[in-house]
Structures are given as C-alpha cells and as structure tokens.
Amino acid sequence: SLGGSWPGSPAAVAGSGGYDWVFEAGPDGNLCVDDLLSGGTSWGGWLSLGNPGSPAIAVPAAAQDSSGVIPVFFRTANGALWQEASTSGGWSGFTSLGGTWPFDPAVNVGSGGYVKLYEVGATGALSTKQLAPGGTWPSSWTTIGGALSGDPVAVQDQAGTTRIYIRDAAAGALREYYS
C-alpha cells in the first residue's frame, strides 16, 4: 500500500532512470507525488508539491517527454488548469495553462517529442495545446470541436497518430479524434 486516504484517482508514469511515479490530488488540496525505483519494494513516501493558491482537485494527467521531464497537469477548485514539471533538481513550480475547465485533462507525448495536452471546455468542444521539445506553451488553445462531455483520453498508435477518445454529450457514444 502507498498509504494515505485519497479523494480521487491517481496518474502514473514509468519514467526514465527506472522510477515509477504516482501523482494524486491530496485531501488537503495539494498535488502529491510518490516514487518507486524499478525492482524496488519500498515507495519513497508521499511528497506534497503544494498548490498554486487554489486546491488541486480531481484526476491529474502525466507523461514523460523526450528529454526525460515529467509534466503533470491538474485542475484546481476554480477550474483552472496547471502544470508542475520535474527538473534535475526537483520540481519547476506551477505554470498556468489558461482557461477554466469542467473536466480533467489528457496528455501524451507524440512524434517528435511534442507534449500534446487535451481538454474539454464548458461549451463541450475539445481543445488542445502542444509543447515543442525545449519550447514554451502557446498562450492560446486550439479548438478541435465537438459537443462532448467527460474526461478525454489520448494515446499514440504504432503509426505515430495521436488518437483522442471522448464521450459525445448528446448520445453518450464514444467519439474518436486523431491528428
């Protein structure tokens, strides 16, 4: 057991260097992380990364980019979307990604090392931001469209196509978007 009493579901990443990382929005509103060295049996212990001034809520999303950085994305109680990222010396501090979001994000690292972030807004439209390796986040989101509801999931298939799956708001059918 990793211990604790958690209000939501975790995100996990198998990172380079042989570590598994687990992220959770804690009951105190702080983003928390725990790590396990590959082949190990003892978790490092939960570390609170804090919050950006509003409590972290819901389910975070995490991935590892092509340089080994692990960005973690999470919503706060006021609906804002934030990023915290690993660095060689610890954690970067919180970065606002703009917008107010009713659902949790999805992330994957696509071809060329781009970090691709997906969110569904209050209008039900799927939106995305992409971060180039070594770059900075664009200031605005790109709307993909749709009348959707719920948390998206994203995966890159063997051909290098990113596929996003999300529920249609009217019929409840599963929809697929790809790029």
pLDDT in tens, 68-78: 999 999 999 99
How far apart are the C-alpha atoms of 122 and 141, rounded to whole Å? Answer: 14
Distances in whole angstroms, Cα of residue 140 to Cα of each of 7, 34, 125, 131, 136: 31, 32, 15, 12, 12
179 versus 47: which is more confidently predicted? 47
**pTM for the whole structure:** 0.94
